[in-house]
A = this chain, B = another copy of it.
Amino acid sequence: MSPINPASTLLSEAPKWELGPHADRESSPTEWIPAEVPGAVQLDWAREHEWDDPFFADNFRDYEWMEDRYWTYRCVVPSHPDQCPNDHTLWLRCDGVDYACHVLLAGRVIYTHEGMFTPFSINLEESHAEPGQTLEIRIHPVPKSTPTNDAGREQANRCCKPAVSYGWDFHPRLVPLGLWQVAIMEWRPPLHFSEISLHPVVSDDLKSARLKIEGLYHGHPDGYLALNLTDPAGKHIHEERIKLDPSGSFRAQLTVCKPELWWPHDHGNQPLYCVVLTLHDIKDEPSDTAKRSVGFRRVRLVANEDNQRASDDPPLTRDYPPMTLEINGRRIFIKGSNWVPPDVFPCRVTPETVQPLIDFAKNAHLNLLRCWGGGLINPNFFYDLCDQAGLLIWTEFPLACNNYPDDPAYLAVLDQESKSILKRVRSHACQALWCGGNELFNAWSGMNDQSLALRLLARNCFDFDPYTPFLQTSPVYGVAHGYYGVEIAQSGREAIEVFQERRHTAYTEFGMPGPGSLEILRSFIPESELYPPRPGTAWETHHAFQAWDMDTDSWLGLLTLQRYTGPHHFIEELVANGQLLQAEGYRHLYEEVRRQKPRASMALNWCFNEPWPCAANNSLISYNGVPKPALRAVADSCRPALASAQIPRLLWEPGDTFKCTLWLLNDVYEKLSATSIQAILEVDYRSEVLTEWMCPGADVNRNNKGPECNVGLPQTSESRVFHFHLKSKEYPELNSTYTLFFNLDREDNPLITP
């Protein structure tokens, strides 16, 4: 027995949970198996019955029946431990139930709950619990707004469960259920915390910060709250005693003068203050303690420079919404990515799985992760790690690609869940942007500005965290999502070329698919199916084929791959070709959006990571933290300063006139010095200097556009790839290399034997 929550001094005990499925709400399990908590019913069942890895081949289909069962957890009410003071009472603490449940004591319902993101605690002694009685948590079946099992994400449109679990183009249909977070017994003193929420607000002039502390307590109001603030150097800077409100709440506010400001990692340090809150009882004895860290930053979303309106011809519509993040008064160009759940089972997402992903992001010079609305609202440790890493977070509420209706029952749960999320997350310095959800204002979702769910979220964000920006959805007007591929299906043009013509304010999703690495592929594809990839195999269930509606070849894209990189002959070649094309595609897109600064303000690819091993996907990092070569390319493109070439496309015909425009990209808040930059074309190991740009450097946070250069490509080539290099004489850290592709499959190509 030990305090399981480091922020709490309460005596607690993890019960021996057991678990079993049953058909309906009134019945009981006929088979009980040991349960791990935090966990998922699927994992417990698979462990007990020695099932294979659910991620191998199409094993996930075996779990389908579990969706429509009730699952009851049970444990025994413990007796009062000797070392625990007599006045302590027994509580059940549930930090997260996936998704709805009844709590029963000796067969009697004592509590009902819906929603993964709102913790609850039950005073068991008030419920007349006796030691030895059975406590049950009866988990309801997966919520589905339509009963048909062949339906997908739309079944999630009346609940606050991540829609991705119902199946997506990178996620199997596998909907977890169970006690996904801590569920323990606690002996609590007469006076203890029930809820704590911090709300730091930096003043307009950045010279002071308010820290609001609000919460609820349980117990007699004749104690007090002791508040102790320590600065990032560990120095105590504020102590205060706060009276408890007899209504059961407390509220304090303190001011920090000249706060050390928190910055994203590419712009400064991440100083964190520490708040210790202690409840003292009437005898002045400390009764309960909580410790939180908090950083101070001012975040705003301001209008993009030079990109106010789509057209100047009257009659006029509105200007574009602002999309430039300003942190502590500094406009920050966002180089980021879209975070998806790093595991199908949220209970398996731990600091140990998250920390390497955050390190990858930071090392790739990414400064923001958009936590996409189809996925999970991350636990606190995620935000703590991002606070420490200086990684900005865009948090979306759990709505995605559905029409969430104006239904009072749904809205009541959304209200509860969003308030819980807001009260928890608003204290984190990394939390830079709230968003109602993913692609809700597009035809495939069908919501709009009048949808009550979004009006409710706007209301709650205003009430609980008004100084952090709120977007109704992504994309808003002026912002772009897509494309997800090298070539746009509708027009046959390369996405790279189309991006160069656009004038969006932000590009918050764009994708380039590529296969997983061989170790990933081997982890879930039976050897017999490994090569060549075919529909109807584990390749397809893991999204290599028919994953995305518009393109049955996605995400592997064999036809495109063949055109760009030629035929493949073995699995290693296929993977290498596909990963190269993905990497080079991302390189151009990131750099193109950067070149559009300050008209554009954000470049976020779709997506960063994976919830299970995908055969092919737009991700930069495969399941379980295995990076693809694309991550290296993105890291190159997102260097704070670099020489960049605007090249119209990836695929060239022999004999074409190759042309490009040189740029110096600078997101640093320092001037870049002058440098001479050579543009070098390298074909078949022969290099030719096309031009030497006497680049005058660049202003603070400004790009500099250089000269164009042109050259005729050779009529033949031995290699299907050629390279374009930018080399700075003085600052080799600015150097860039682009790999481009020759189309050697033309019918008139002398290399091809008909």
- Give the B-binding residues of A (Cβ under 8 A): 300-303, 308-309, 312-319, 321-322, 441-443, 448-450, 452, 455-456, 458-459, 461-463, 466, 469-473, 475-483, 488, 490-491, 495, 498-499, 502, 504, 507, 509-510
Contact = CB atoms under 8 A, between A and B. Distances in A.
A603 to B, nearest CB: 12
A77 to B, nearest CB: 40
A200 B475 CA distance: 35
A635 B510 CA distance: 50
A464 to B, nearest CB: 11
A480 B319 contact: no
A316 B450 CA distance: 21
Contacts of A472: 449
27 contacts: A301-B449, A301-B450, A303-B448, A313-B498, A314-B482, A314-B483, A314-B490, A315-B482, A315-B507, A316-B442, A316-B475, A316-B481, A316-B482, A317-B504, A318-B473, A321-B441, A321-B448, A322-B448, A450-B469, A450-B470, A452-B462, A455-B458, A455-B470, A458-B458, A458-B462, A459-B463, A477-B477
Contacts of A488: 313-314
Nearest to A468: B450
Contacts of A498: 313-315
A321 to B, nearest CB: 5
A392 to B, nearest CB: 16
B450 A455 contact: no
Contacts of A314: 482-483, 488, 490, 495, 498
A455 B462 contact: yes
A254 to B, nearest CB: 18
A481 B314 CA distance: 8
Nearest to A474: B318
Contacts of A455: 458, 461-462, 466, 470
Contacts of A509: 315
Given A475-B318, A478-B317, A300 B469 contact: no
A344 B59 CA distance: 75
A87 B472 CA distance: 54
Contact of A476 (B300, B449, B459): B449
Contacts of A481: 315-317
A321 B449 contact: yes
A480 B472 CA distance: 22
A317 B480 contact: yes
Contacts of A301: 449-450
Contacts of A456: 462
A452 to B, nearest CB: 6
A478 B477 CA distance: 10
B317 A477 contact: yes
Contact of A312 (B466, B478, B483, B490): B490
A315 B483 contact: yes
A303 B312 CA distance: 25
A452 B465 CA distance: 11
Contact of A318 (B303, B441, B502): B441
Contact of A458 (B303, B319, B459, B510): B459
Given A455-B462, A455-B470, A462-B455, A442 B478 contact: no
Among A312, A475, A509: residue with most chain B CB under 10 A: A475
